[in-house]
Every structure is written in C-alpha cells, then in structure tokens.
Chains A and B, each alone.
Chain A
Amino acid sequence: MAQTLSEQILSQAAGKPVRAGEVATVAVDLVMMHDSLSPSIIKIMEQELGAERVWDPERVAVVVDHVAPAATVQTAEKQNEVRRWVQRQGITHFYDVGRGISHPVLVEEGVAQPGMVIVGSDSHSTAYGCVGAFGSGMGSTDIALAAATGRTWFRVPETVLVRATGRFRPGVNAKDLALRAARELRADGATYAAVEWHGVEFLTVMERMTLATFSIEVGAKAGLVPPVGIPQVAPEWLRVEEGAIYSRVVEVDLNTLQPQVSAPSFVDNVSDLGDLGRVAVDVVYLGTCTNGHYEDMAAAARILAGKQVAPGVRLMVVPASRDAMLRATEDGTLATLLAAGAAIGTPGCGACIGRHMGVLGPGETCLFTGNRNFRGRMGSPEANIYLASAEVAAATALAGYIADPQDVL
C-alpha cells in the first residue's frame, strides 16, 4: 500500500508499517529545545522523571534564540543555567546567542536531515519538513520525555495535500502560497494532520521552510516538502508514492496567485492585497523562521535598492540566522537595507514573541513577515499586525502603507 511521507517516516521510526489513525511509539532522531522552555524541560526531566542524563547528548540540540541576547536579569540567569546544564550533559549541538533561530540553524548545520523524526519545544518545529523531515512541536513535558528516552508517541496523521501548479509572478513568493493555503484551509483545517506541499521543487530549502513553518498555522502536526531538488540527500525509501491517500487536496495556481495579506488578528483572515484598501503602517518587521532568510532579505533589498524607507516608518530586519546574515553582508544585501534606513537586530526570534527587540506599542500597526498576528503577539494587545511576504514588507516600507511589490518594482 502506498504511503504518505509522514506514514513512511513514522513507519521507519516505529520499526513497523503504520498508517494514518494508528497510535505509534517511535524513536526520535533529534530533540530540539530552546532557551525559553529549556529551564522547564530540565526541571521536568530532573525532578519529575528522575532522569539525570539525556538519552544521547549528540541527538539533543539546544539553541538560545527566543530571548537572544538576554533582555532581563531573569532571562540572563535562566540562560546561564541552561548553559551549565548543556556542559554537564556534554551536548554537542549547542548554539548560543547570535547563531540564529533553531530551525534554520539545525538545517544549516546539517543536523536536520530528510527522513528524520525531529521533535522540538517550539510549535514551528514543523520547519524541518523543508528538508523532508517529520518535524513536530511539543510542550515541555513531551520534550523532557523525548530527551530522556529518545522516544515519543504519535497518532499517525492523515495528510492534507497542497498542490501548487505553475510559477510565481514577480513579487509573489512562497509566503503568498502559505497564506493562500491558510485562507483555504483556515486555522484548524489540518489539525491532527500533516500537510504535504507538492509542486514547489523549484524553491530553495529556506523558501520551503516558509511553507513548512506555516503548516502549524493551519493546525498541522508536520508540514513536509518532498526532499527532491535540494542538496540534502534523502533516504531511498522516502519519496512521494502514487496512490498515497490524502484526506483533502487544495489546489493553488501560482500563475494567477496575487500577494496575500493576513489582517488582524487571525492568521487565516487572509485576502488578496489588492482587496485590502489603504492600510498605513508604523513598523515593517522582516524576520522570523518563516521569512527572515537570506532570500527574504535579498528580495527586500532588490525593492529598496537606492531608495529610502517612507518618513515615519521604522523598518526592522532581524535575520533568521548568522549564516543568512553573513551571506547578506558579503553580497551587499545588508548594506542596501541599511542605506535604505533599516535597523538590524541580532539573529533570533526577535519581537515575534513580543519580548524584546522591537515590541509594538498601543495603537501601532505593523506589517510582519512572521506567521502569527494574534492580539498581543508582538507586544501591546492594542497593536495591529498584518502578515505578508518580505517583498510586500519592502514595498510597504517604501510606500508607508501596505503595498504591492508590483507597484514599486
């Protein structure tokens, strides 16, 4: 019987063939935890589970990205506790302040690979689907148990297929596809399911991460792009199989896809940018594991080259990783952004969780390249957050209101 990518990966990890709907105990290949939840994970491991050691110090990754660098004395102290624990455990994959957001970092480091089961203490751990891994977010207790035992349980998910055809028009990109899918599926459309994104083999790994991270925003357990057309080598058993069963298919014609915008305060409150009306912004924020990649900064720089951010608009750029920032430094992308008036932050999650580095005040409107526009997400519950692509962000920074890249390219 043909299997979906999730069924194939979970069958390998369970050591027996499993199908959607079954509950399976699986071996995990990698457990990721970040600074925000590591203190609680360590506490649960040590005090509740009585586990002194992680199951394999080479397969537990710890990343300081959520409040990086530390914003308060408390966070500094907690991060130091995590650093000491990492040292005691002999954890090899430790990435400290400035290395970037866990998801791109683990891909760049080659730690996340096709066919793996990766669980992370971050809901956007679906990101690892960009290389064809089954990545899934979990809370502190599940992650503590996985880190202590190397195992976890899953209900093997049904799969929702998003099938793209054609090619993006200029100014339209993977984020617009992700938002279009959310518009169709709604915020609960793939709950308990996995999403597979087909027809996007022409995208880079990090562009695929935009789709994979966004999968959680439609409720998904994992979000996978078939691992073809990327440098990472997939195991031979992992491939799209003719006859695999999809619980739902969403078709998106990229040739006619318009720039999409999600309006406050629900991720699935999506419309074509052209139908939005005039929305003036105070802040444009380019960053996150969804759209703070090199590709996003380069696309923004092409639009902003030789121009200036509109008066009264603040443009924040927070690269997703040091690698992305380094590449953008070396080829002049960052210089272009700086010359246009951008403020640059330390690679990491930035203000996406509303803790530091550009939180929003009451009454402010922000055009954000991230994945959540929940009320209060980036600071004040009285702020308004619109989600869109990096290209829309750049066009908006120039215009001072939410603008179509086509109109400024």
Chain B
Amino acid sequence: MARVWIFGQDINTDQIVPGRYAPIMLKNEDDLRLYPFVEHRPEFASTVRPGDIIVAGNNFGCGSSREYAPLALKMVGVGAIIAPLFARIFFRNALNLGIPCFTADLTSQLADGEQVELHLEEGRITCADGRELALPPPPTFLREVWAAGGIVPFYRQHGRFPGEAA
C-alpha cells in the first residue's frame, strides 16, 4: 500500500527543495534526501515511505530548472506524481529521472494520508474502499523513456532521442 500525499496548486521547486539546500551547498550530497519539502511540509521527508504517491493541484513543479527537486523526491522513493498539469521543466526532469508522472486531477477524489494501491503498468489506483481510479496513459514516446528508466538509459540503449526515427 502507498500513502497519498495531497499538495495544493502551483507547488514550485523552491517549495520542493529551497535553493539553500542545493547539493552544492551541502557537505554531503546524499543529505539531499533529508530536504524534500523541508520548509513547506517539514514532516514529509522523515515520514514518506518508498512507493508513496504525491497527488497535487495544478502547475506542479513550477519555477527553477533544478533537477535536484525531483531528485530529492526520487531519493525518498516517491512512486508517482499525479497532477492536472506539470510545469514543463519539472516534467522533463522527472521523466529523465524515471519518476512516473500522470496528468490527472485527483485532489478531490483522494484524501491526504489515504492508503491506496498503485498499479503502474495498468495506470490504475485501487482505494482501500475498493474504488478504482484510472490514470490516463502518457504518450507513447514518453512511456518509452519511462520504461527505460530515464533519458540516459534510453539514449544509451537506442542511440536516439524519444520520438526520433530509429
């Protein structure tokens, strides 16, 4: 089971990891795992479990290009992020790191702290009360990158960019 973490809209990358906690500012870069939502939601980093799901409002990840924002979420094992709209740089960064992102508005259908089961392959969430929520499948070229585990493994495997003719 995965815990649902509900976030509001326009969550920016300064809220995910403030610039003051960038890897270059840290003595030990692995400490980045201590800082996702360090100020916005201080209990997150110590409570989140691998596989947990972030369910957010519109425009998740807006602001800076810092890849260490999704990287920090990956380090603590966030299993998927679901939002009606992702800021584009964040979306690319998450894709590149292999974090599944689904474009859907589930903030009113799920509650913070709710335990659910995420079926990644089928694009489906099963709630504790048996409700099933469908996750719209991402475009094929994005799914290919995601399946490879990120853009670097994809490029190394295929020698081409997503969407480019083989």
Q: Which residues of A contact B (CB under 8 A)?
A: 23-25, 35-37, 39-40, 44, 48-50, 67, 72, 74-75, 78, 120-123, 125, 137-142, 144-145, 149, 151-153, 187-188, 191-192, 219, 221, 266, 353-355, 359, 372, 374-377, 379, 381
Contact bitstring B114-156, A, C-beta under 8 A = 1, else 0: 0000000000000000000000000001000000001110011
B105 on interface, CB distance cutoff 8 Å = no
Q: Is the CB of B156 within 8 A of A49?
A: yes
Check B10–A266 contact: CB distance below 8 A.
yes
Contacts A25-B160, A191-B59, A376-B14 given: A381-B89 contact, CB under 8 Å? no
Per the bound structure, the CA–CA distance linking A152 and B87 in Å amounts to: 19
Cβ-defined partner of B65 (8 Å) among A49, A78, A123 = A123
Q: List 19 A-B contacts (CB under 8 A).
A: A23-B163, A40-B68, A49-B155, A67-B24, A120-B65, A122-B64, A123-B65, A188-B85, A191-B86, A219-B59, A219-B62, A219-B88, A372-B12, A374-B14, A375-B14, A375-B39, A376-B18, A376-B20, A381-B40
Known interface pairs A25-B160, A153-B161; A145-B155 also in contact (CB < 8 Å): yes
B81 to chain A, nearest CB (A): 15
Are A355 and B68 touching (Cβ within 8 A)?
no
- Range of interface residues on B (Cβ < 8 Å): 35 or more
- CA of A149 to CA of B18 in the docked complex: distance in angstroms? 31
Measured CA separation A179–B34 after assembly (Å): 35
Expressed in whole angstroms, the Cα–Cα distance for A131 and B152 within the complex equals 32
Taking A24-B163, A374-B14, A374-B15 as given, write out 18 further A-B residue pairs in contact, using a Cβ cutoff of 8 Å, ordered by the A residue number. Answer: A25-B164, A36-B22, A36-B24, A49-B152, A72-B25, A122-B65, A125-B65, A138-B65, A139-B92, A139-B96, A145-B152, A152-B161, A354-B19, A354-B20, A372-B12, A374-B63, A377-B19, A381-B39
A48, closest chain B residue (CB): B152
Closest Cβ–Cβ distance, residue B54 to chain A (whole Å): 17
Q: What's the least CB distance linking A225 to chain B, in Å?
A: 20
Given contacts A219-B87, A355-B19, A376-B39, contact A141 B62 (CB under 8 A): no
Complex CA distance for A139 and B66, rounded to whole angstroms? 6
Is the CB of B23 closer than 8 A to any CB of chain A?
yes
B positions within 8 Å CB-CB of A: 10, 12, 14-15, 18-20, 22-27, 39-40, 58-59, 62-68, 70, 85-89, 92-93, 96-97, 141, 150-152, 155-156, 160-164
Q: Which residues of B contact A219 (CB under 8 A)?
A: 59, 62, 87-88
Which A residues lie within 8 Å of B24 (CB)?
Answer: 35-36, 39, 67, 74-75, 78
- Residues on A with C-beta less than 8 A from B164 are 25, 153
Across-interface contacts of B151 in A (CB, < 8 A): 141-142, 145
- Chain B residues near A145 (CB-CB < 8 A): 151-152, 155
Interfacial chain B residues near A67, Cβ < 8 Å? 24
Task: For the complex, give the distance between the alpha carbons of A401 and B40 in Å.
Answer: 28
Distance of A36 Cα from B88 Cα, bound (Å): 20
B120 CB, min distance to chain A CBs, angstroms: 21
Given known contacts A354-B18, A355-B25, A374-B12, A188 and B65 CB-to-CB distance under 8 angstroms? no
Q: Is A137's CB under 8 angstroms from B20's CB?
A: no
Could you tell me if A141 and B67 are in contact, using CB atoms closer than 8 angstroms? yes
Within 8 Å by CB of B93, from A23, A141, A353, lies A141
* Complex CA distance for A138 and B87, rounded to whole angstroms: 11
CA gap between A127 and B25 in the complex, in Å: 26
What is the CA–CA distance of A355 and B24 in the complex, to the nearest angstrom?
11
A141 and B162 contacting across the interface, CB-CB below 8 Å = no
B104–chain A nearest beta-carbon distance, Å: 16
Rounded to whole angstroms, the CA-CA distance of A221 and B15 in the bound complex is: 21
- With A75-B25, A187-B10 in contact, is A25–B96 under 8 Å at CB? no
A residues in contact with B162, CB < 8 Å: 23, 153
A101 CA / B97 CA spacing, docked (Å)? 28
Q: Which residues of A contact B141 (CB under 8 A)?
A: 23
Q: How far is the CA of A40 from the CA of B65 in the complex (A)?
A: 13
Report the Cα distance A153→B145, complex, angstroms: 12
- A141 and B89: CB pair below 8 A? no
Once the chains bind, are B67 and A40 in contact (CB under 8 Å)?
yes
Query: Does A37 lie within 8 Å of B66, measured CB to CB?
Result: yes
Given contacts A23-B163, A376-B14, contact A39 B152 (CB under 8 A): no
B62 contacts which chain A residues (CB < 8 A)? 187-188, 219
**B17: min CB distance to chain A, Å:** 10
Q: A375–B15 contact, CB under 8 A?
A: yes
Distance between A213 CB and nearest chain B CB, rounded to angstroms: 13
A221 nearest in chain B by CB position: B88
Chain A residues near B96 (CB-CB < 8 A): 139, 141-142
Report Cα–Cα, A138/B94, bound state, in Å: 11
Q: Which residues of B contact A75 (CB under 8 A)?
A: 24-25
Chain A residue numbers with a CB within 8 Å of B89 are 123, 137-139
User: Among A74, A125, A375, which residue has its beta carbon within 8 angstroms of that of B40?
Assistant: A375
Partner of B64, one of A23, A72, A123, A379: A123
Given that A141-B152, A191-B87 are known contacts, is A121 also in contact with B65, CB under 8 Å in the complex? yes
- B15: chain A residues at CB < 8 Å are 374-376
Check if A25 sits within 8 Å of B25, measured CB to CB.
Answer: no
